[in-house]
Amino acid sequence: MFQAIREINRNIADEERASESTPPTRDEEPEGVLFGKYEIRKFLGVGGFAKVYEAFDVVTKQSVAIKVVSKRRIVEAQLTAQLQREITIMRRLNHPHIVKLYEVLATKTKIYFVMECAQGGELFDRLLNHGLFDEDHNRRCFHQLISAVRHCHSLGVFHRDLKLDNLLLDDDLNIKVSDFGLSATMDQIRPDGMLHTLCGTPAYLTPEMLAKKGYDGEKVDVWQCGVVLYVLTTGSLPFNDADVPTMLRRIYRGRVGIPRWVQPDLKRLIKRLLDPNPKTRITVDEILQDPWFRKGYREIKVEQKNSGWEEDDRNRTKSLNAFHLISFSSGLDMSGLFVTDPEPEVSGSVERIVSKETPNRIVETVEEAADRDTVVVTRKEDGWGAKLEGHRGNFVILIGVYRLTDELVVIEIKKKEKEGESGAQFWDDKLRPRILELEHKPE
């Protein structure tokens, strides 16, 4: 039965996720120690636009999962915005039953998501290989799932692709919700108060999604939790059919059959979760009061993270964490999301290099390169950059220095020129050669 479920659990292609008909190959696998920190241990799997590896963090001495994404494929599939949203969402969430995103790293061609490693693998595979859990363990799993979903909703996040494949297990068989690639946030809600993108896995779609009239993200997540509970209980999908169009018609009608041997309280909850009318479908708060659910339930207290990227305002202008690396590779510029520059916005070309020099030495080099008769140099008050202006105002160059690691900094150069005039000669002949002398080139 679980093999049949997997056959029809193919994601619907839409504007949120391109077709997965050509998964990435296993060529150019990472070897050795990535970024001097992560020792690759084994290949875990491939799907969509990513390959996943288990690695060992040589600093923290713990196992991590590393999802490797091809920048070229992301750009070609026009999924940059989706990737930005997924990272932003995962950074916002902080819950023991949601996979943690530790950091994001990048090279010229790849992006690396470094995440918590769920050693127990997918819940789906566990059931496939070992059979169903007993009712008490199913209840425990469902407690953890609902707690995680409630946390997401409290932060305005709607998962939209909750399924057994996206529920991972740790060594103690605790649930870890993963894969927020199709998640939505409050800012995606249209003026009618609804989400409208048809996305997800066919067997887990809701009647209102199929009606294409808009849907409530919270109600979709509740329905999908109902499908998960149904499969945990019975070992089959509630609207199962090998023919996907037939299955979708069954979902749209919403008449679910529950085996007679399912005990009454659990049967009642499943029916309320899989209510085809979203207006009368049970809510998360109502689930917490349900008799079957309440047995043995203990509320999980979580600390709310600061929203956005404002975890350390005092150091924001000086330090770059690993997430900023994404913006340093051409073809996938996310600097608007990851880098906050205290200077006025300068539209124009941007260059970045990595250096081992001190901020003071970098600014001194900039000052030495500038001809004081034609260029005005103003240091930042904190010493971590400078502003260069042509005397006639014909160009502006902003130099920003950001701490990347204990040894490395990133030098960011933003250039703006007036139409018809140019500071290109000063940049090409004097400043750029001097800055390139400061570049760190790993052997």
In degrees and rounded to multiples of 5, residue 26 shows phi and psi of -100, 25
**Cβ-Cβ contacts under 8 Å for 171 (sequence gap 6 or more):** 119, 120
How would you label 54-92 residue by residue, b for 16+ Cβ within 10 Å and e otherwise?
ebbbeeeeeebbbbbbbbebbeebebbebbbbbbbbbbb
- Tell me whether residue 161 is one of the annotated catalytic residues: yes
Angle, vertex CA 416, rays to CA 330 and CA 395, nearest 5:
145
Instruction: Give 46's strand partners.
Output: 51
DSSP string, 145-198: HHHHHHHHHHTTEE-----GGGEEE-TT--EEE---TT-EEGGG--TTS-B---
CB 258 within 8 A of CB 271: yes
In degrees and rounded to multiples of 5, residue 297 shows phi and psi of -75, 135
Residue 322 DSSP class? G
Query: Which of the residues 134, 161, 187, 265 is marked catalytic?
Result: 161
Angle, vertex CA 160, rays to CA 238 and CA 109, nearest 5:
125
In one-letter notation, the amino acid at residue 344 is P
Alpha-carbon gap, residue 409 to 93, rounded angstroms? 29
Alpha-carbon gap, residue 70 to 77, rounded angstroms? 11
Q: Which residues are identified as catalytic?
A: 161
